[in-house]
Amino acid sequence: MKCPTGIAAAIVAVGLVAWGGDGALAKSHGDPGDALEEQAIAPGLTMPQMDPVRGRDLFASKGCVVCHAINGVGGEDAPALDADTMPVPMNPFEFAAKMWRGAEAMVYLQREELGEPIVLDGAELADIIAFVHDAEAQRRFSDADIPSGIRNLMHHMEEDDEHHEDDDDREEAHD
Ligand code: HEC
């Protein structure tokens, strides 16, 4: 047995942060470790920092912008990801689940248009999700955020589209 006050303090701390004071899950878990006190998500589970400004860079540099638009900037092959189209509040795992549901189409198109599927680590995905939910960070998103390599790719795609079919309903809104 460990010091009861220590355990109680840990349970209260975790309960307050993660479950709004409920703490039911923490109570059923008898022996909270050090990680639990630092990472208030669930016993044994950690949550990365979610930084919308880093996410803005990643959204462009990883190539999401090739198919998805935010703030009117980006491709039209896939649904726009503006913050005002997202549920508020939103569990970030819901966003990841939506990506997973779209995975088959996304991987196929990414191979076609980027040459290979996008690879993300957990921290990068967390930052992108933060950006997708942050209207303030999105307002400052512009063409200038797109690295030249990605921008060239997008121009090539536009040219390809024009060669394929002109009678698409959705015309380019870009200059
Ligand atoms: C090459 C094109 C392409 C790229 C690049 C791409 N996506 Fe997608 N994405 C799609 C398509 C197409 C769909 C729609 C799939 C469907 O409807 O089944 C989609 C669906 C999604 C969805 C689900 C949207 C919804 O409303 O259900 C999310 C979320 C998403 N993508 C996030 C991302 C993120 C984040 C990135 C960058 C890491 C990314 N996508 C990169 C093409 C792309």
Residue 145 inside a domain? The answer is: yes
In a domain, 171, yes or no: no
Each of the 175 residues of the chain gets a pLDDT tens digit; together they read: 444 454 444 444 433 334 333 333 333 343 444 333 335 588 888 899 999 999 999 999 999 999 999 999 999 989 999 999 999 998 999 999 999 999 999 999 999 999 999 999 999 999 999 999 999 999 999 999 999 999 998 988 777 777 765 555 555 545 4
Give the range of the structural domain holding residue 154, as residue numbers without chain letter. Answer: 52-164
143 with 106, same domain? yes
Bridge partner residues of 45 (DSSP): 42
Assessment of whether the complete model's pTM goes beyond 0.85:
no
Task: Assess if residue 128 is contained within a domain.
Answer: yes
Q: How many residues does the chain have?
A: 175
| CB 157 less than 6 A from any atom of ligand 1 | no
Quote the ligand 1 centre to 102 CA distance (angstroms). Answer: 6
Q: Is 45 helix (H, G, I), strand (E, B) or coil?
A: strand
70 and 150 share a domain? yes
Record the tokens describing residue 82, joined without a space.
């503006």
68: Cβ below 6 Å to ligand 1? yes
Residue 70 inside a domain? The answer is yes
